[in-house]
Amino acid sequence: MSASEGQQHPIAIYLWIWLLLFVLSAFSYGVDYFHLQGALRWSLILLFMFLKAGFIVAIFMHMNWERLALKLAILVPPLCLLILIGLMAVEGDYTFLTRSESFTKPAPIAAPAHGESSTAH
Amino acid sequence: MAVETATSVVHPSGVTPGLPGVASDFASDKQAFVVPWGKAMMWIFLLSDTFIFSCFLTSYMHVRISSTVPWPNPSEVFALTVFGNHIPLILIAIMTFILISSSGTMAMAVNMGYRRRRGKTAALMLITAGFGATFVGMQAFEWTKLIVDEGVRPWSNPMGAEQFGASFFMITGFHGLHVSAGVIYLVIVALKVWRGDYDRKGNYEIVEIAGLYWHFVDLVWVFIFAFFYLW
């Protein structure tokens, strides 16, 4: 089917994807409702999220039937966000460690006898 | 098609010099993507919007990682007590289902548009806009509950890390703005469909372009739901 003539597809495919999105949303909510924790929680959240996002973009936004040039022009640039996310995660960890060192621990040098912890900074 | 350009000055090398050259270079009628220009432009706009929302979510990730104070548990913050039952995150779950429903009706509207069903297209678009307005209404309820009842502010909140309020208002506020703009956009296009503008033009592309915007709003919510509410 030529993309320039418009995106005409059987209604059934939309209904199936619609149903699938409902089910996936229910699963996502289930992750929270049943108090799943740890790595299982995060991997399930990400799995359902990427499935939902993928079906919305591919079917509802018709990306699946567009030409490769448009697909690449739209879908490749966001990949550079991974670099930003990676950098900010490292930076956030560093900030956390610095704050933990400077602000939350009782200052190790301040002797309890003097009680001059305000000058320890 | 008018082939002759406004500029008559032609450089010996065959290209127009100076500012008219800039205009003729940019307006040289080259088409990169085999889709209507409006659709290509909408996709490029959505790409830029992707970066805006990603920056918000990334900054949220950063403040959440770097905070030494415990982050408020969204499951509890957004819980509601319905008929005596305490249900975690129920309001957000309902909002998610409403937005998914609106995406479905929008997809059907696009499909009906290509089948030249004027009435059904307009009706489905208005239903979509109705779902969108419901979503914004529930968001207003949620904001009121947080601001008035629980004292959440962009700079402080009683539940934990101060950055929670700033991230929450920024991310959901910007998304809500997109939904509100989308509702107005959909209503305008629906009324034009109803009036028969696109039948006369013989072209329902605009319905699909409006649909792209609407699906994107739903797409952003998928990420907000996962990262802000569930994480």
pLDDT mean across residues, chain A: 84
**Model confidence pLDDT, tens digit, residues A25-65:** 999 989 888 888 888 999 999 999 999 999 999 999 999 99
Provide the CA B194 distance to its chain's centre, in angstroms: 23
Which domains are delineated in chain B? 1-30 (no CATH), 37-230 (1.20.120.80)
Task: Count CB-CB contacts under 10 A for residue A119.
Answer: 9
* Assigned token pair, B130: 């109705």
| Chain length of chain A | 121
This model of the complex carries an ipTM of 0.83
The string of pLDDT tens digits covering residues A61-71 is: 999 999 999 99
At A117, the pLDDT band (50, 70, 90 cuts) reads very low
Contact check, Cβ <8 Å, A21/B104: yes
Alpha-carbon distance A99 to A93, whole Å? 10
**What is the Cα–Cα distance from B174 to B182, expressed in whole angstroms?**
12
Amino acid at A68: L
Q: Which pLDDT score, from 0 to 100, does residue A120 have? A: 42
In degrees rounded to 5, what are phi and psi of residue B189? -65, -40
Contact B230, A45 (CB under 8 A): yes
Q: What are the chain B neighbours of A69 within 8 Å (beta carbons)?
A: 32-33
B105: pLDDT confidence band, cut at 50, 70 and 90?
Answer: very high
Answer yes or no: are the C-beta atoms of B219 and B50 closer than 8 Å: no
Provide mean pLDDT across the span B173-179: 96
Contact A27, A48 (CB under 8 A): yes
**Which chain A residues are within 8 Å of B59, Cβ to Cβ?**
88
Per-residue confidence at A94, pLDDT binned at 50, 70, 90?
A: very high
| Over residues B71-94, mean pLDDT | 84
Count of CA atoms in the C-beta half-sphere (13 A) of A117: 10
Joined tokens for residue A93 = 């960890």
B43-78 pLDDT per residue, tens: 999 999 999 999 999 999 999 999 988 899 888 888
- Which residue in the block uniquely carries the two structure tokens 């957000």? B92
Distance CA A25, CA A39 (A): 19
Report the predicted TM-score, pTM, of the whole model to 2 decimal places: 0.85
Mutate to test the interface with B, among A61, A70, A81, A91 (most CBs of B within 10 A): A61
